[in-house]
Structure formats: structure tokens, C-alpha cells
Structure 1
């Protein structure tokens, strides 16, 4: 069974159609990217897949579970990082990750904190209040909470936001290794380079519709950009600069 599958998924907000009959299949072990301009339906898709929003119509399955009927079961079994999500300002990174460990019943949480704070290079600020951290440091802590319970499926909205170039390279390696180990990653982005560098398959979404899917590694240089321009036409352009 696929890690993620939707059929005819739609979401309406009054007269606004956020998603229009989205059919999507993400196989286990894929690093799948949903690429599109702001307002195209990427975040709405992730929120429905993770049980945070109820679709207007259609069906959805995440790890063989319906997130509409069983949202808590899905959220317990996956990792989730929304865009612009920060750790609580009144906790240190260590305290926050220990809280995550309690919620997720991780018996060796202290060892995992040491492991992930090392991988993401924030051991030196483990006991600093989160309100005193930079945006990049907070992003690294939030990435740690995604992986610390070793989920087989992770959803990340804009994974490289606020990270400096060196840390971006480290995070790219972590995400790639995670999928090479047999896990599945579903990310959304409006940065062309993120999709090209990371993803094994990219779905291009515009105005709530999945307009095409491509393997970026099988395309020639600038092929993904050309595909986007061809398929999306004169809609709002994707940001092609470095993230």
C-alpha cells in the first residue's frame, strides 16, 4: 500500500476552491515534493493529510489510516513540521524535546536529544530559552522534533527556511538519508532548487490542481523550471532563487 493516497480530494472555503479533485499517490520510501506558488494548495494538502483540516469531499489514506476519521492516530505515527512553527518560547530546546518525548512515550529521549542536537548542531543552545534563539536555531530544534520519535513518514512545509547555506546542506543530507533508509518524506515548497536537489518525484500544483508530476533527476538542466512554465503558464511564478 502507498504511504499516502488521495482520490478526488477537494477543499472549499466559501466561494474559494483551495483544492480541486486532487488525486495523489506517494509510494513508501519516496522523497516526494509538492511544488507550487504561494496559495496553490500545498499547505491545505498537508493539513488534510495530517488530520488538521477536514476535506469538503474525496478520500485520503495515510499509512493505511484515514486522517479524517482517525486524526490522532495519524498524528501519532508521523512527523509534522508546518511552515513558521517555533518551539514554545518559555522552554529551552532540551525541555521542549523532553516534552515531545513524554507525549510520544520515548523511553530513551535523553540519548535521542544528544543525537539530534549533534546532527543539527545545536547542542550549545540546548539550555537556552527558545525566545533567545535565532530563527535558524529554532528551525533546527523543530526539525529535531520531527525525527526524534523515528517515524516512517514525515511531512515538512518548507524544510530549509531560515537555515544558512551550510546547515541547508546538512539538512538535505539528513532528509536524503532518511528516505534511503526506507522511510517516506512528503515536503512542500515554492523553491525550485529545493525540489530539484532533494526530491525523487515532484508534483506541480496550481490553483488547487495537480497539473503534472515529474522525476527531476530525469530532466535536463532547467527542465523542472521549463515544465513549470509550460504547465502553469501565466499563473504566479515559482520563486527560483536559492532558499
Structure 2
């Protein structure tokens, strides 16, 4: 069964076409990566799938629910980690998690255990009672990651999750995402870090000019072929790169 499906999704902002008929499917229990140049439609896709934006046409399904018709139900069932979003500055991490628990109707004792686990996993336990505004950008990112997983969703959308994290915490999070997937959950990862996508993802989709141009399994790449090579070729930049290299 597919956790995510889209069919001919289209979205424009005035004269700018963000999505030009995007059709894709992500299986349950898959760690799927979405790659593409800036402006390719990745953020628009996530906003539609998470019920934050209406497409001009086309259809979508997330865990069997239409995110356009039932956006609240979709957001109740998923986790979302947006790129470059910060926790409320006037709260501490602990207060923010209490707020998330209230919104998601989570038991206080369960939340306390989960917060402790995440604070230890991401190495910020001593910052739980510090105002978010006084945290570093990396520590704020850790708070947002915890908030996205606090209710233990079956599906999570994450946009550049490793940005601002130190290498030790990056490794801890990557290993968690793999175990989360292995437990049957689904990850929809948007990133510009092709090496991370190649390491983590079961399958990647490459979007260009608002459409899906190919999907690949990193594990099935030919010997000596890099996911970066595939990406550059599919988005039409391989010739320019080759020319630049030959001129060095």
C-alpha cells in the first residue's frame, strides 16, 4: 500500500509554474528522498501533501486521506519538520513540548519519557529549560525535530533535517531515521544533500521544473555511478559540469 500518492498535481503562482503535473507514489515503510534544484517544486509539493496549500488541479492522498479536503486530519496523523522554522522564542523547549502534547492530546507521562529520550539522543538535555531564543540554531533544530516525532507518527515529512547539526548528532539522527523506517514507518525527505540521500534513502525522486523526471534506488546504481551523476544528468546540468571540469 502507498503512504503517499499524487496524480497530475499542478500549482502556479501567477506566471510562475511550481508544479507541472507531478505524479508520484511512496510506499508504506519507505525512506523516500525528493531531490531537485532550487525552484523545482519540492517545497510546494510538501505544502500540498501536508494540507497547507491547495493545488490548482490534480489529486493527492496521504495515509489514505485527501490533504486538500481533510487537511486537519492529515496533520493529526503526520509529523512535519519544515526547513528553517524555529520553536516559539518566548517558550523553553519543555514548554514547547507541553504545548505540542496539549495540541496532540498526548499523555503527560508519556511525553516526559519521549522528551527525555530525544534530548539524550540529540544531546541537548541541559537546554530543556532555556528560552528557545537563547538557543543556538542547531539546538533550535533539535527542538523542532523532537516536536515532529513527539507523537510518534506513522509518516513524517522532513525538509533538510541535518542542517545546523554537528556531525555526531547528524549520525545519531540518521541512525534513528533508519530504525524508524525499519519499524514500518514512512519518511519523506527533502534535501539538497545528495550524499545524505544516497546514504539513507531506499529510493529517490528527482524533480525538475515542477515535474518528476525519474526515480532511482541508490542501491541499484551501476558500479562507479554516483547519485550526483544521475541528478546532474536528469536536470540538464551534466554537460556544463563536464565542460567546467575539462577546462581546469
Determine the C-alpha separation between the residues in 2 that align with 1:221 and 1:61. Answer: 37
Which residue pairs with 2:48 in the alignment?
A: 48
Q: Which of 21-30 and 215-224 deviates more? A: 215-224
1:222: Cα distance to partner? Answer: 4.4
Determine the C-alpha separation between the residues in 1 that align with 2:178 and 2:58. Answer: 31
3-state DSSP of counterpart to 2:151 = coil
Determine the C-alpha separation between the residues in 1 that align with 2:151 and 2:117. Answer: 12
1:228: Cα distance to partner? Answer: 1.3
Pairs within 5 Å for 1:20-31: 20-31=20-31
1:35-73 superposed Cα distances (whole Å, 9 cap, x missing partner): 111111101000000000000110000000000000000
1:131: Cα distance to partner? Answer: 0.5
> Which runs of structure 1 show a deviation greater than 6 angstroms over 4 or more consecutive aligned residues?
none
Which residue pairs with 1:241 in the alignment?
A: none
Which residue pairs with 1:117 in the alignment?
A: 119
Determine the C-alpha separation between the residues in 1 that align with 2:195 and 2:226. Answer: 12
Determine the C-alpha separation between the residues in 1 that align with 2:44 and 2:94. Answer: 31
Determine the C-alpha separation between the residues in 1 that align with 2:174 and 2:162. Answer: 8
Determine the C-alpha separation between the residues in 1 that align with 2:168 and 2:121. Answer: 13
Aligned residue among 219, 232, 237 for 1:229:
232
Uncovered stretches (5+) of structure 1, i.e. residues with no partner: 239-243
1:187: Cα distance to partner? Answer: 0.8
Determine the C-alpha separation between the residues in 1 that align with 2:101 and 2:115. Answer: 9
Name which one, 1 or 2, has greater alpha-carbon Rg: 2
Determine the C-alpha separation between the residues in 1 that align with 2:4 and 2:182. Answer: 18
Q: Pairwise CA RMSD of aligned residues?
A: 1.4
1:126: Cα distance to partner? Answer: 0.3
Pairs within 5 Å for 1:67-82: 67-82=67-82
Determine the C-alpha separation between the residues in 2 that align with 1:142 and 1:229. Answer: 31
Q: TM-score scaled to structure 1, two decimals?
A: 0.94
1:122: Cα distance to partner? Answer: 1.1
1:221: Cα distance to partner? Answer: 4.2
The alignment of Structure 1 onto Structure 2 pairs a total of residues equal to 237
Q: Which of 95-104 and 212-221 deviates more? A: 212-221
1:212: Cα distance to partner? Answer: 0.4
3-state DSSP of counterpart to 1:118 = helix
Q: Which of 198-207 and 116-125 deviates more? A: 116-125
Aligned residue among 183, 186, 200 for 2:185:
183
